[in-house]
Amino acid sequence: MKLEAPFTRPSLKEALDAWKKLLAERGFATDIIWIFAENLCVEKSRAGQGGFRFGFQTRFTPPSEDALDMAFAHFSESDKPVVFYRLGERSGKSVCTLLCDSWFEHRSDADGFLHRDEWRVLFYTGQKDEIEEVTDLTRWLRRVKRGRAFHDLDFCMAMEAIDEIKIYGRVLVPYERLAAAMLGRLRRFLGQPA
């Protein structure tokens, strides 16, 4: 049995200060566009067979102003690593997301992850790549949602989960989502407000 080293999560401000300092040290923009699962746009790559490319959008599903605070607070309740992850740069800003899962427990410096073990936080600054901002609704609607290998970005917070935290005080489990949807349909069928 592996014993976990004790850790204390930082405040979001402390973590952001450390993140921006690291970005600046590595020559990346410290102005940040924060994105969530609904903002990712994964498309089949035209360059290689079976490959994928990542883009983002904030036009069709813009994150709420408190989304980052809520995602960090929710992830901080877990004992899993929280990851500040930079996807690339767009218009002089770093495009970043927050991730959390045991998937990252064995990621190392060789993989590009900088550890802050006392916080149980990892930082991934990525490459000096430009990331495309998708503004075409058709492309975003046709994005790949299934049928590809797992990627680090599969562990980012969904805005749907943030809405559930706001409404119910926690993230719902799948059967609760199904029950809520069915209850809404039943209310509409009976002519009651949903």
Instruction: Report the range of poorest mean pLDDT among 8-17, 91-100, 104-113, 116-125.
Output: 104-113
How would residue 1 be classed by pLDDT, with cut points 50, 70 and 90?
very low
Band the pLDDT of 149: cuts 50, 70, 90: low
C-alpha angle with apex 95: 10 to 76, nearest 5 degrees? 25
Counting DSSP H helices and E strands in the chain, the numbers are 5, 8
The answer to whether 128 and 28 are in contact (CB under 8 A) is yes
Q: What is the DSSP letter of 47?
A: S
Q: What is the pTM of this model?
A: 0.82
Tokens 């936080």 belong to 121
CA angle 27, 75, 72 (to 5 degrees): 50
Average pLDDT score over residue span 131-153: 80
Signed CA dihedral, 54, 55, 61, 64: sign only? positive
Mean pLDDT of the region 77-86:
93
Q: What are the sequence ranges of the domains in the chain?
A: 12-157
Most confident residue range from 12-26, 37-51, 156-170: 12-26
Q: Average pLDDT over the chain, rounded to whole? A: 86
What pLDDT is stored for residue 148 in this prediction?
67
Mean per-residue pLDDT, 21-41: 94
pLDDT value of residue 99:
92
pLDDT, one tens digit per residue, over 42-59 is: 887 776 666 778 889 999
Long-range pairs for 52-55 at CB < 8 Å and ≥24 separation?
A: 52/144, 52/148, 52/151, 53/132, 54/87, 54/131, 54/153, 55/131, 55/132, 55/133, 55/134
